[in-house]
Structures are given as C-alpha cells and as structure tokens.
Amino acid sequence: MPLENGRHARARPREAESRAVAAADRAQQERWRAFYRPSNYELPRPDQDPYFARLAAARLDQVRRHYRGGRALDLGCGAGHYALALAAHVEQIIGIDFSPEMVRAASCEARRRSHRHLQFCVANARRIPLPDATVSLVYSFALLYTVPAVEDVVEEVSRVLVPGGVAVLEFGALYSLNTIVSRAMEELARPFHLPVREMQAILTRCGLVMEEDRSFQILPFWGVRPLWMLPLLLPCWKRLAALPVAGRMLDERISSLPGLRRFAFRHMITCRRRTGE
C-alpha cells in the first residue's frame, strides 16, 4: 500500500506553492491543533443533539449509497469517526488529517477494534499521499470550508479518483448566516466560505460533474456571537430544524427551496470524476 506520510506517493509536478497560501495553511493548522481535540469529534448522539446526529446520518447514508467497492478516502478524517462507522461497509478506507493528535486517536481506535482495513496518516489535504486514479470514493465532511486554497484540494480529489469515481464533498456557502457567526468566533479555525456558484465552477474546472447538492443550515445552529444574532442562535430553532419531514430534516427541506438554497451554509455535493480524460 503506497502510503506512508506521502513517502511513496508519486510526486506530482506543481508550480511553486504560493507563500501566502502556505502561511495561511500553517496558521490554520495551528488553530486546529490548539482548539480542537479528538474528544470534541464524537459522532453526535440523537438523544443529545438530534440535528447534528441526523446530519451525520445523512452523510453516512450518502457515502453508503454511492460506494461500489474499492478504496475510499476520508479527507480531514479527524478522530476517524466516519471511517469507523463505515468500516463494515467499505473494503479499505484511508483517512488523512494534518493533525497528528487526530490521526493518533483514529489509528488507536481502529487498532482497538481490529479494523486493519482502516489506515490513517498525517498529511495535508492539498497534497494527498496517494498515486493518481487509485481511489473509488472520496468523502470529506466539515473540512473544505476551512481550507485557504480549496481548489488545490478539489484538484487533488479529482487526481486520486478513478475515472467515474465519486466524491461527496461538503462546502460552506459565503452568503449564509453561518458565515457571520464563524467570523465572530475568531478563536476557532478561520472560515474560507465560497459563493455557491464558485463551488460549482471549481468542481467543473477540476473535472468533476455535480450529481446532487444537499443543502443544510439555513440558520447557523451553533455559536454564541455576534450578540445581535442571539435570537437566531437559540437552541429551539435547532430542535425544530431537526424534525423529520418525508424522510429528510425540516432544515434540509427549507435549505433546498430554490430561493433559499444559496443562503444555506452547508452544501454536501456528490460529484463524479469525468471519464475519458
């Protein structure tokens, strides 16, 4: 298996990395490591947090529906909770994360459960340590909206996917109330949110064809700032938004309305690498 922190990965010719992006990346890595602990990233429990538990279930369901065998890649795997939850359904999962603490936690738990088909490695999503066209499905949750040069990452996703391979990628929309909260919570990872059209343009430029865009978080559903937004941050909205409506959360139903979609924060986009290139 050609993966040891990138040692065996085929070097990909690239232009010199922009210094500004590299610096932003390093700053972001420090923030992640300072403020986020593996224990913060348990999969949410339905009795404690029905909204985020249903979001997690929707993510897992999307991966299971599109997986057709072969290797899967969990980009920004954190403490490995999604990989661990998918272990029974997927032949092989590689998880990468640039936080050694997260990777250690994920590896320990996989070992404890004897999941030898799950492997985790420290790497930046902008340099995936895998050869071209060796992954049949990539998924990435709660990562891309904190990456300074997201197109670099999407390009990497496209590179490692086999032609016809699937990616389930979560982006964060710029024109959303969540952007206001994320900017106000300046001690956390810096937001790098994008207009919805820009997400679609990036996918196209990287050779990925969008098949589905599931939208969530018309309200932020977290955070305690800015103060003027507090009425919209009350937990009652999150409880209401989690209610199921014809198999999906009320929030997803509202966030998918044509006039509102571009103001919903979270876009879980399923796309496929073009064949014949």
Ligand X SMILES: C[S@@+](CC[C@H](N)C(=O)[O-])C[C@H]1O[C@@H](n2cnc3c(N)ncnc32)[C@H](O)[C@@H]1O
What count of other Cβ atoms lies within 10 Å of the Cβ of residue 42?
11
Q: Which is nearer to ligand X, 190 or 274 (CB)?
A: 190
* Token digits of residue 240: 């209401």
Binding residue (CB under 6 A) for ligand X from 99, 178, 179, 200? 99
Cα separation, 146 vs 28, whole angstroms: 8
Q: Which of residues 5-34 bind ligand X (CB under 6 A)?
A: 32
Q: Which is nearer to ligand X, 134 or 140 (CB)?
A: 140
Which burial class, exposed, middle or buried, applies to 4 when counting CB atoms under 10 A from its CB (0-12, 13-18, 19+)? exposed
Asked if 271 is part of the footprint of ligand X (rule: CB under 6 A), the reply reads no
Asked if 102 is part of the footprint of ligand X (rule: CB under 6 A), the reply reads yes
Q: Which is nearer to ligand X, 82 or 216 (CB)?
A: 82
Q: With CB under 6 A as the contact rule, which of the stretches 5-13, 73-81, 209-217, 240-248 interacts with ligand X?
A: 73-81
Q: How far is CA 162 from CA 67, 118, 156, in A?
A: 13, 20, 12
Cα separation, 137 vs 223, whole angstroms: 32
From the CB of 17, what's the least distance to ligand X, in Å?
A: 13
Cα separation, 55 vs 81, whole angstroms: 14
Asked if 167 is part of the footprint of ligand X (rule: CB under 6 A), the reply reads no
Q: Which is nearer to ligand X, 141 or 263 (CB)?
A: 141
From the CB of 168, what's the least distance to ligand X, in Å?
A: 11
- Interface pattern 129-158 for ligand X (x via CB under 6 A): ------------xxx--xx-----------
Q: How far is CA 155 from CA 2, 149, 202, 203, 242, in A?
A: 20, 11, 9, 8, 34
Q: Which of residues 40-69 bind ligand X (CB under 6 A)?
A: 41
Using CB under 6 A, count the residues that bind ligand X.
20
Asked if 192 is part of the footprint of ligand X (rule: CB under 6 A), the reply reads no
**H-helix segments, the chain:** 19-35, 50-66, 81-86, 100-112, 150-160, 177-184, 196-205, 230-233, 235-241, 250-255
Asked if 165 is part of the footprint of ligand X (rule: CB under 6 A), the reply reads no
Asked if 81 is part of the footprint of ligand X (rule: CB under 6 A), the reply reads yes
Is 133:70 a contact under the CB 8 Å cutoff? no
For the chain, helix, strand, coil in percent to 5 are: 40, 20, 40
From the CB of 259, what's the least distance to ligand X, in Å?
A: 29
- Position closest to ligand X via CB: 78
Binding region for ligand X (CB under 6 A): 32, 36, 41, 76-78, 81-82, 97-99, 102, 124-126, 141-143, 146-147
